[in-house]
């Protein structure tokens, strides 16, 4: 992020840059997720704690990568709080959970294995393309 300590508070512009999100999205999420509550100083200036930044990263991952809806994330937070959210994994280390895919798509095992194989081929091609 910057040369600040890991425990330092961050401004909205620093957090937005770190998470690669527009500032207005962070302000919007404050209205949707009561757990996101940066400190506000004079003039309404926001200061995010390290745990706020971590929570926002987890919310971003759930919404943008894993396909959850805002209501879905709200439900997760409501049921078990912040501790109920899964940790953010780097995209290259996220594994496909074949069981979840099969259940959500109601697929039979042979269908699933061909899909997984195809996805692995696509992943290999993408890795090769990004290496070039």
Counted domains in the chain = 2
> What residues form DSSP beta bridges with 39?
47
pLDDT, position 94? 47
User: What's this model's pTM, rounded to 2 decimal places?
Assistant: 0.60
CATH of the domain at 73: 1.10.1660.10
- Cβ-proximal residues to 62 (8 Å cutoff; 6+ apart), any chain: 68, 72, 73, 76, 85, 86
- The 8-class DSSP code of residue 34 comes to T
How does pLDDT run across 43-81, given as a tens digit for each residue?
888 899 998 998 999 999 888 888 889 998 888 888 876
How does pLDDT run across 83-100, given as a tens digit for each residue?
666 666 544 444 555 555
Is 6 a residue whose pLDDT tops 60? yes
- Domain of residue 60 covers 10-87
Please state, in angstroms and rounded to a whole number, the distance separating the CA atoms of residues 126 and 44: 43
Assigned domain for 3 exists: no
51 and 82 in a single domain? The answer is yes
Please state, in angstroms and rounded to a whole number, the distance separating the CA atoms of residues 28 and 7: 24
75 and 115 in a single domain? The answer is no
């Amino acid at each position: 992020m910057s040369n600040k300590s890991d425990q330092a508070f961050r401004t909205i512009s620093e957090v937005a840059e770190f998470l690669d999100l527009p500032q207005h999205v962070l302000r919007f999420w404050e209205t949707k997720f009561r757990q996101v509550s940066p400190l506000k100083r004079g003039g309404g200036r926001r200061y995010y704690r390290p745990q706020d930044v971590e929570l926002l990263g987890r919310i971003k991952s759930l919404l943008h990568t894993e396909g959850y809806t805002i209501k879905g994330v709200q439900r997760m937070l409501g049921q078990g709080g912040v501790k109920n959210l899964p940790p953010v994994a780097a995209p290259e280390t996220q594994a496909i959970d074949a069981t979840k895919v099969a259940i959500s798509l109601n697929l039979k095992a042979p269908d699933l294995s061909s899909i997984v194989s195809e996805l692995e081929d696509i992943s290999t091609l993408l890795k090769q393309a990004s290496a070039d």
